[in-house]
């Protein structure tokens, strides 16, 4: 593969120091995620999946190691620098959608764009928002509020919101966890389509069916990352 | 509920798991309730409780006001014969009592203490129905012109100065060289009406005839010591009494002053005021302010606590939902709320009563001079009743608020949902109104207290136009005051002054009264224009102005050679110079003063005397060899005390006594005590309301922030900067701020429309500045209340805010 490296993680570890015990949630993790890749991370509960995704998403700090996004070292940023990286380079899709109740579908999608430091013009925001909602087939729900939407629709709004800033990568944590299986399948299909159009995705799931939809599959167990067997053999 | 003790036990247990909540509620409410109950008790005495004297509604004071031909007020005190005439002959009163207030040196006591004495005619004791614990009061034949000197001691004086000696009735006390036989001791229950704001409680009551009023025969001298108290005849009002008696008083005044051009066209008006109004003075306004202030604090506290209750109920939402699902009826939930509220309010009310008791003790210990009738004050039945009523109101309010939050039907359904039910929508509204209320009340309190504070602060810090540091005023008296010749007395005073000057601590001494003590009124006539003036004046030494660092605008002070009683030199202040010659020089102007032509030789700057107009017309004449009053300038870091002076005069003449010894700084402090108390109390109230409102806003915002933690975290995850998030939260609450502040402004405007006098004396640039200050302060509090709860979200890794659950 001769593509750009979107995310590079070297020797990342995470230790939670609680009163009683030290939990080594991540141990010496190394990953490279290339442009256009579709990465899944699965594994048993408590394996460290969410922890890893939080660190990649700059929502949490690693205890050691190095993290690069599009070649830029982001291991130790100030909070506002990290906010800017999250705003422009990262798109988040959460298990519980995390839409803002008081904002309409349109405004939810526009929200990250309003945080941009380069200050987009209103028309530009409008264009982007509509484009992204088009991608998730929700153009007809612009003025609805989250509580007027089904769970699947809400998650699609969240996906549109994540896409709005043209991120380097979509970070997805259990996107179907709060959805029934049919709706979940639809959301997964949407992600697959987006990937086909070139969006880089890193997804955490413990559902092996969905994990199998990814091109690159990792297993995270007791904080240790393993590439899945079949893929290894494929690569050989 | 069958097992009610179980419910009580459960409630106690669940509350005791929240000690901060419990402590917070009891402390906040206890303090504010206590403050409110104590001022309410005070207000009860002021507005409702009758004075503790028989027929109190018929008791009045009579004042004697002299008006010049133009109707200008020239004096506000009785002439001695004028008072006697009305006392002997009037149609309006069932009973009259003459009183003469004085401070006198008790020479029968070796410590020579200065005590408050009041000379009275016997009716005084009937009017106040004074009872004795020992002996008797004066009898009817011991009144005017009986000439037998007798004394009645106050209970406190008997205890403190006579060691509660039962044999006191065989003893005498001496004042001014007169020995008074003690005939009685008043009962400890006796409450003396404080007719004058600056009057200390009487220690010894003396028979009238020996009073130390001057010029007992002249109709041209008024004496501020004379007070006239009367009981009007049934059916006669104060106004009628004044109308009935004034013409004769005027007639007598004019008959007896005929031929004195100065008094031409003058008239006398008798001012008859109900004793209650007189005692209360203008403090009704102060007390109204106090009641409103304490009430506002209580309201802020209530808003705070309502918020705490709401948070607690939401916290218990799940528990209540389970209760409801298990079949608890709505009325049973109400019982739980009532019980919890009672468990908190009962100790708060009891604590409040303790605070009120302490508050009343404080008022009695420190503020008797400021708050009329505080000498009668005690925590009474009314206080307990009001505490109880307030407690019930609070209990009902809080349990009502709680109940209104709960939608019982939804509660039963809520067990399945994860919490963010519609019950919260209601509470968001309630919360916003709580914030609005707190902002409105706090703005009002802070604004009002700041206005009062700045007024008082300005008064206290206004430059005096003179230096009083290191100056002590000493007054001397002679035990045979009435028989000693002035030349003799002057020689003693000159010797005393010389010896004080020799004390190593003393820098200089000048004859002359304290510039802060009251000036006497003088009659002065412009020789050229024949215009009459009533300036206030003092006799002073050649180095008096120098010692006080009062500067001359023109001319000079007196020469040593002029201090002999026949000088005609006169110094006036700028205020008087303006009256006499406008903007022209007043030097050389001739004035008829004390029947002698005087010439103005100097004009000094106006001095600021607390309680007096700054440009009051003042004049100064040279002393005649000496003066009974001296100002001692003490060297830096040195002290002189009363005994130093007493030792000196013992060596000179044992008949001399130190009548008064007080530093001018102390005099100033005492005369501005009211302002100082205002400064302290407005600062305290403003501080307390700032803290309470800050805590209240914090409470509300902390809760909403917790509730919205998820959303705020999401915003941060999507790239919001710290500042953007803080601003976002702040803007969200700006509406409450705007509404609250607008309500406060509207209330001020309404108050102004209802009673323009309330604010008009303040209106101006300063009011605007204070308004801006208030708005800024409240804005700052709101900002802090927004920011502080956000800090954990901003400072911890974002992943914690995004986790559901805690
Ligand atoms: N704040 C924390 N403090 C202490 N330990 C933590 C904390 N967060 C996570 N852990 C621990 O780190 C380990 C990894 O947790 P993580 O949430 O990443 O697991 P996961 O793979 O996402 O599990 P699941 O599939 O259940 O979501 C777990 O053992 C967990 O107990
Ligand atoms: Mg997880």
- In this predicted structure, the answer to whether residue B644 has a pLDDT above a threshold of 50 is yes
B329: how many CB neighbours lie within 10 A of its CB? 12
Residue A116 carries which DSSP code? -
* Cβ-proximal residues to B281 (8 Å cutoff; 6+ apart), any chain: B197, B372
**Closest chain A C-alpha to B803 CA, distance in angstroms:** 10
* Ligand in nearest proximity to the CA of A42: 1
Contact B721 A80 (CB under 8 A): yes
Q: Which residues from chain A sit within 8 angstroms of residue B719, using beta carbons?
A: 83-84, 86-88, 112, 115-116, 165
pLDDT band at residue B428, thresholds of 50, 70 and 90?
confident
Report whether B279 contacts B194 (CB < 8 A): yes
CA distance B557 to B570: 8
Whether the CB-CB separation of B711 and B802 falls below 8 Å is answered with no
pLDDT at residue B520 greater than cutoff 70: yes
Cβ of B804 within 8 Å of Cβ of A101? The answer is no
User: Rounded distance, CA B644 to CA A157, Å?
Assistant: 92
Hey, which of A23, A43, A63 would you mutate to test ligand 1's pocket, going by the most ligand atoms within 8 Å of its Cβ?
A: A23
Q: Could you give the percent of chain B with pLDDT greater than 70? A: 95
Residue with tokens 């153009």: A139
Burial B561-579 (b: 16+ CB within 10 A, else e): ebbeeebebbbbbbbbbbb
Taking CA B456 as the corner, what is the angle to CA B455 and CA B458, rounded to the nearest 5 degrees?
70
Q: Is residue B330 pLDDT above 90, yes or no?
A: no
Residues in chain B: 806
State how far residue A165 is from chain B, nearest Cα, in angstroms. 10
At residue B419, the pLDDT reads 43
Give B401's Cβ-side CA count (13 Å radius): 27
Q: DSSP letters of B588-608?
A: T-EEEETTEEEEEEEEE----
By CB atoms closer than 10 A (0-12, 13-18, 19+), residue B337 is: buried
Residues of B in contact with A115 (CB under 8 A): 715, 718-721, 724
Q: How many other C-beta atoms can be found within 10 angstroms of the C-beta atom of residue B774?
A: 24
| Numbers of helices and strands, H then E, in chain B | 24, 24
- C-alpha B678: how far from chain center: 7
Q: Cα(B209)–Cα(B723) distance, rounded to whole angstroms?
A: 82
pLDDT of residue B176: 82
The distance of Cα B258 from the centroid of its chain, to the nearest Å, equals 43
What is the structure's pLDDT at B423? 47
Contact B793, B712 (CB under 8 A): yes
Question: What is the predicted pLDDT for the residue at B414?
Answer: 58
Q: Which ligand is nearest to the CA of A44?
A: 1
The A residues from 72 to 111 touching B (CB cutoff 8 Å) are 79-80, 83-84, 86-88, 92, 94, 96, 98, 100-101, 111
Which tokens go with B294? 């304490």
Q: What is the mean pLDDT of chain B?
A: 87
Q: Which of B718, B723, B799 to mutate to test the interface with A (most CBs of A within 10 A)?
A: B718
A91 to chain B: closest CA residue:
B718
* pLDDT tens digit sequence for B439-464: 999 999 999 889 889 988 988 888 89
Among chain B residues, the shortest Cα distance to A116 is held by B719
CA distance linking residue A137 with residue B420, whole number of Å? 29
What ipTM was estimated for this complex? Answer: 0.92
List A residues 170-209 in contact with B (Cβ-Cβ < 8 A): none
Lowest mean pLDDT among B227-231, B605-609, B763-767, B794-798: B763-767
Residues on chain A touching B707 (C-beta within 8 angstroms)? none
- pLDDT score recorded for residue B4: 66
- What is the distance between the alpha carbons of residues B486 and B757, in angstroms, rounded to a whole number? 51
Please write the tens of the pLDDT for every residue from B667-706: 888 888 888 888 888 888 888 889 888 888 888 888 888 8
- The reply to whether residue A116 touches residue B719, judged by beta carbons under 8 angstroms, is yes
Q: How many CB atoms lie within 10 A of CB A214?
A: 23
CB contact under 8 A, B798 and A59: yes
Higher-confidence position of A8 and B264: A8
Decide if A83 and B804 are in contact by the 8 Å CB cutoff. no
Query: Which of B422, B428, B719 to probe by mutation at the A interface, max A CB count within 10 Å?
Result: B719
Tell me chain B's radius of gyration from C-alpha atoms.
34
pLDDT band at B585 (very low <50, low <70, confident <90, very high): very high
Ligand 1 proximity of A46 Cβ (cutoff 6 Å): yes
Residue A236 confidence (pLDDT): 37
Cα–Cα distance measured from residue B469 to residue B666, given in angstroms and rounded to the nearest whole number: 10
From CA B734, how far away is CA B435, in angstroms rounded? 11
Mark yes or no for CB contact A59/B799 under 8 Å: yes
Put simply, the answer to whether B797 touches A61 (Cβ < 8 Å) is yes
Judged against a pLDDT cut of 90, whether residue B762 lies above it is answered with no
Between the alpha carbon of residue A160 and those of residues A70, A91, A106, B717, B719, the distances in Å are: 22, 9, 10, 15, 16
- Any atom of ligand 1 within 6 Å of the Cβ of A23: yes
- Better-scored residue on pLDDT, B751 or B498: B498
CB atoms < 10 A from the CB of B420, how many? 12
Cβ-count burial of A113 within 10 angstroms (0-12 exposed, 13-18 middle, 19+ buried)?
buried
Choose, out of A84, A99, A100, the residue to mutate when testing the contact with B (most B CBs < 10 Å).
A100
**What's the rounded mean pLDDT across residues B194-199?**
80
Q: What distance in Å separates the CA atoms of residue B697 and residue B470, rounded to the nearest whole number?
A: 49
Answer for the pair B299, B58: CB distance below 8 angstroms, yes or no.
Answer: no
Nearest CA to ligand 1 atom 31: A46
Q: What is the pLDDT of residues B239-297, one digit of tens each?
A: 999 999 999 999 999 999 888 888 888 899 999 999 988 888 777 777 888 888 889 88
Residue with the smallest CA separation from ligand 1 atom 4 is A16
pLDDT digits (tens, 9 = 90+) for B346-395: 999 999 999 999 988 888 887 777 777 877 888 888 899 999 999 999 99
In whole angstroms, how far apart are CA B569 and each of A168, B137, B541, B599, B615?
99, 50, 12, 5, 21
Question: Which of A58, A60, A83 minimises the CB distance to B720?
Answer: A83
| Distance in angstroms (rounded) separating the CA atoms of residues A35 and A38 | 9
CA–CA separation, B363 vs B677, rounded Å? Answer: 11
DSSP state of B171: -
Q: How far apart are CA B195 and CA B198, in angstroms?
A: 9
Give the span between the Cα atoms of B735 and B431, in whole angstroms. Answer: 13
**Averaging pLDDT over each range in B141-155, B643-657, B696-710, which range is the top one?**
B141-155
* Three-class secondary structure of residue B800 per DSSP: helix
Identify the band that residue B708 occupies on the pLDDT scale cut at 50, 70 and 90.
confident
How large is the average pLDDT for residues B135-146?
A: 94
Whether B718 sits inside 8 A of A96 (CB atoms) is: no
Report pLDDT for B1: 46
pLDDT at B125 over 90: yes
φ/ψ (deg, to 5) at A136: -100, 15
Neighbouring CB atoms inside 10 A of B633's CB total 20
Whole-number Å distance, alpha carbon A6 to ligand 2 midpoint, is 23
Q: Among B665, B658, B606, which Cα is nearest to B629's?
A: B658
Protein residue with least CA distance to atom 14, ligand 1: A48
B562 in Cβ contact with B542 (< 8 Å) = yes
Query: How far is the C-alpha of B427 from the C-alpha of B429, rounded, in Å?
Result: 5
CA gyration radius, chain A: 18
Instruction: Check: CB of residue B569 under 8 Å from CB of residue B601.
Output: yes
What residues are paired with B316 via a beta bridge? none
Q: In this model, does residue B148 exceed pLDDT 70?
A: yes
The pairing of beta strand B204-207 with beta strand B114-120: parallel
Q: How many Å lie between the centroid of ligand 2 and the Cα of residue A57?
A: 14
The residue whose CA is least distant from atom 26 of ligand 1 is A45
Please indicate whether, in this complex, the C-beta atoms of B799 and A60 are within 8 angstroms of each other: yes
* pLDDT tens-digit map of B19-67: 877 888 888 899 999 999 998 988 888 888 888 899 999 999 999 998 8
Closest approach atom of ligand 1 to CA A52? 18
Better pLDDT: B238 or B197: B238
User: What's the average model confidence in pLDDT over B131-160?
Assistant: 94
| pLDDT > 90 in chain A, percent | 65
A84 contacts B719? CB cut-off 8 A: yes
pLDDT given at position B763: 64
What are the DSSP E strand ranges found in B605-731?
Answer: 618-622, 629-634, 656-663
Q: Give the bridge partners for B572, in sequence order.
A: B603, B619
Q: Whose CA is nearest to atom 7 of ligand 1?
A: A16
Pocket test for ligand 1, best of A12, A47, A59, A177 (most atoms within 8 A of CB): A47
Whether the pLDDT of residue B401 is over 60: the answer is yes
Is the C-beta atom of A45 inside 6 A of ligand 1?
Answer: yes
Q: Which residue of chain A comes nearest to B710, CA vs CA?
A: A98
Q: How far is CA A145 from CA A98, A179, A187, B422, B427, in A?
A: 13, 18, 19, 16, 21
Query: Taking Cα atoms as reference points, which of B119, B70, B69 lies closest to residue B98?
Result: B119
Please check the confidence at residue A232 and state whether its pLDDT lies above 70. no
Residue A234 has pLDDT above 80, yes or no: no
Q: Residue B466: name the closest of B675, B665, B637, B602 by CA.
A: B665
A217 CA: distance to closest CA in chain B (Å):
24
Q: Nearest 5°: phi and psi at A68?
A: -125, 140
Contact at CB, A165 and B715, closer than 8 angstroms:
no
Q: Best interface-test mutation with B: which of A17, A18, A55, A59 has the largest number of B CBs within 10 A?
A: A59
Q: Does residue B786 have a pLDDT over 80?
A: yes
Q: What is the pLDDT of residues B406-422, one digit of tens each?
A: 766 666 665 554 444 44
Distance of CA A183 to the CA centre of its chain: 19
pLDDT at B542: 94
Q: CA-nearest residue of chain B to A57?
A: B717
Q: CA-to-CA distance for B126 and B737, rounded, in angstroms?
A: 60
Buried b (16+ CB within 10 A) or exposed e, A47-76: bbbbbbbbbbbbbbbbeebebbbeeeebee
Q: Ligand 1 in contact with A49 (CB < 6 A)? A: yes
Q: What ligand has the least distance to the C-alpha of A43?
A: 1
């Amino acid at each position: 593969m001769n593509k750009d490296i979107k995310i590079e993680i070297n020797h990342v570890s995470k230790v939670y120091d609680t009163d009683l015990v030290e939990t080594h949630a991540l141990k010496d993790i190394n990953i490279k995620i290339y442009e256009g890749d579709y990465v899944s991370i699965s594994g048993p509960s408590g394996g460290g999946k969410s922890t890893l995704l939080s660190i990649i998403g700059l929502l949490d700090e690693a205890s050691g190691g190095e993290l690069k996004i599009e070649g830029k070292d982001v291991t130790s940023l100030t909070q506002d620098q990290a906010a800017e990286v999250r705003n422009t380079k990262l798109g988040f899709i959460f298990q519980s959608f995390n839409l803002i109740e008081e904002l309409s579908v349109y405004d939810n999608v526009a929200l990250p764009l309003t945080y941009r430091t380069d200050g987009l013009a209103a028309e530009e925001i409008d264009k982007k928002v509509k484009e992204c909602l088009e991608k998730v087939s929700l153009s007809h729900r612009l003025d609805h509020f989250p509580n007027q939407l089904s769970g699947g629709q809400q998650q699609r709004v969240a996906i549109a919101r994540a896409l709005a800033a043209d991120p380097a990568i979509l970070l997805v944590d259990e996107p179907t966890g709060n959805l029934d299986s049919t709706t979940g399948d639809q959301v997964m299909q949407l992600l697959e389509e987006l990937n086909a159009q070139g969006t880089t995705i890193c997804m955490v799931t413990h559902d092996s069916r969905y994990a199998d939809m990814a091109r690159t599959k990792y297993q995270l167990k007791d904080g240790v990352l393993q590439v899945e067997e079949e893929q290894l053999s494929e690569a050989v | 509920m069958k097992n009610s003790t179980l419910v009580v036990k459960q409630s106690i247990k669940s509350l005791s798991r929240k000690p901060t909540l419990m402590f917070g509620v009891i402390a906040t409410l206890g303090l504010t309730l206590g403050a409110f109950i104590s001022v309410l008790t005070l207000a009860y005495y002021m507005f409702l409780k009758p004075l503790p004297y028989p027929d109190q509604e018929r008791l009045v004071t009579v004042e004697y006001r002299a008006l010049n031909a133009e109707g200008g007020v020239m004096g506000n005190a009785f002439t001695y014969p004028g008072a006697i005439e009305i006392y002997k002959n009037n149609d309006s009163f069932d009973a009259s009592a003459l009183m003469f207030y004085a401070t006198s040196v008790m020479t029968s006591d070796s410590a020579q203490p200065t005590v408050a004495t009041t000379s009275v005619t016997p009716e005084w004791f009937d009017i106040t129905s004074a009872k004795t614990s020992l002996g008797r009061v004066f009898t009817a034949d011991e009144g005017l012109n009986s000439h037998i000197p007798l004394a009645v001691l106050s209970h406190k004086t008997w205890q403190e100065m006579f060691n509660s000696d039962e044999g006191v009735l065989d003893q005498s006390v001496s004042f001014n060289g007169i020995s008074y036989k003690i005939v009685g001791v008043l009962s400890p229950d006796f409450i003396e009406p404080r007719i004058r704001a600056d009057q200390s409680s009487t220690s010894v009551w003396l028979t009238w005839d020996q009073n130390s009023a001057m010029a007992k025969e002249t109709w041209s001298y008024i004496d501020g010591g004379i007070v006239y108290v009367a009981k009007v005849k049934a059916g006669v009002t104060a106004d009628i009494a004044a109308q009935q008696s004034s013409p004769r008083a005027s007639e007598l005044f004019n008959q007896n002053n005929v031929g004195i051009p100065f008094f031409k066209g003058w008239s006398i008006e008798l001012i008859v005021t109900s004793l209650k109004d007189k005692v209360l003075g203008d403090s009704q306004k102060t007390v109204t302010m106090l009641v409103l202030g304490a009430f506002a604090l209580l309201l802020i506290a209530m808003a705070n606590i309502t918020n705490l209750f709401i948070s607690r109920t939401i916290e218990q939402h799940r528990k209540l939902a389970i209760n409801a699902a298990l079949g608890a009826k709505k009325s049973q939930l109400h019982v739980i709320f009532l019980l919890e509220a009672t468990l908190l309010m009962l100790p708060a009310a009891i604590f409040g009563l303790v605070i009120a008791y302490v508050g009343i003790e404080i008022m009695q210990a420190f503020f008797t001079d400021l708050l009329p009738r505080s000498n009668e004050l005690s925590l009474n039945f009314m206080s307990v009743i009001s505490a109880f009523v307030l407690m019930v109101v609070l209990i009902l309010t809080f349990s009502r608020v709680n109940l209104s939050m709960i939608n019982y039907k939804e509660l039963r359904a809520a067990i399945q949902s994860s919490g963010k039910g519609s019950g919260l929508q209601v509470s968001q509204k309630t919360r916003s109104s709580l914030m609005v209320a707190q902002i409105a009340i706090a703005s009002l309190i802070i604004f009002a207290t700041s206005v009062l504070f700045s007024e008082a602060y300005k008064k206290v810090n206004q430059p005096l136009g003179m230096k009083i540091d290191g100056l002590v005023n000493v007054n001397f008296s002679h035990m045979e005051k009435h028989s000693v010749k002035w030349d003799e007395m002057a020689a003693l005073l000159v010797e005393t002054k010389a010896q004080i000057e020799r004390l190593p601590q003393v820098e200089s001494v000048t004859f002359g009264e304290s510039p802060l003590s009251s000036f006497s009124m003088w009659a002065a006539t412009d020789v050229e224009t024949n215009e009459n003036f009533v300036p206030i004046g003092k006799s002073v030494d050649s180095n008096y102005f120098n010692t006080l660092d009062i500067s001359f605008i023109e001319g000079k002070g007196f020469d040593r050679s002029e201090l002999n009683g026949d000088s005609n030199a006169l110094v006036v202040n700028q205020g008087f110079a303006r009256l006499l010659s406008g903007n022209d020089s007043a030097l050389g102007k001739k004035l008829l003063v004390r029947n002698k032509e005087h010439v103005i030789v100097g004009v000094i700057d106006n001095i600021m005397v607390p309680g007096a107009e700054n440009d009051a017309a003042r004049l100064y004449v040279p002393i005649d060899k000496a003066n009974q009053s001296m100002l001692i300038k003490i060297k830096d870091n040195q002290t002189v005390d009363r005994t130093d002076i007493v030792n000196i005069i013992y060596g000179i003449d044992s008949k001399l006594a130190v009548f008064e010894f007080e530093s001018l700084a102390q005099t100033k402090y005492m005369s501005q005590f009211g302002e100082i108390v205002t400064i302290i109390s407005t600062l305290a109230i403003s501080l307390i309301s700032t803290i309470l409102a800050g805590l209240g806003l914090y409470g509300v915002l902390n809760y909403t922030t917790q509730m919205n933690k998820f959303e705020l975290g999401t915003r941060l995850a999507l790239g919001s900067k710290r500042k953007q998030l803080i601003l976002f939260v702040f803007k969200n609450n700006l509406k409450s701020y705007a509404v609250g502040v607008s309500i406060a402004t509207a209330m001020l405007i309404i108050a102004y429309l209802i009673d323009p006098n309330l604010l008009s004396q303040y209106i101006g640039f300063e009011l605007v500045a204070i308004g801006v200050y208030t708005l800024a302060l409240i804005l700052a509090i709101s900002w802090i209340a927004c920011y502080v709860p956000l800090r954990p979200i901003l400072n911890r890794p974002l992943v914690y805010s995004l986790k559901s659950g805690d």
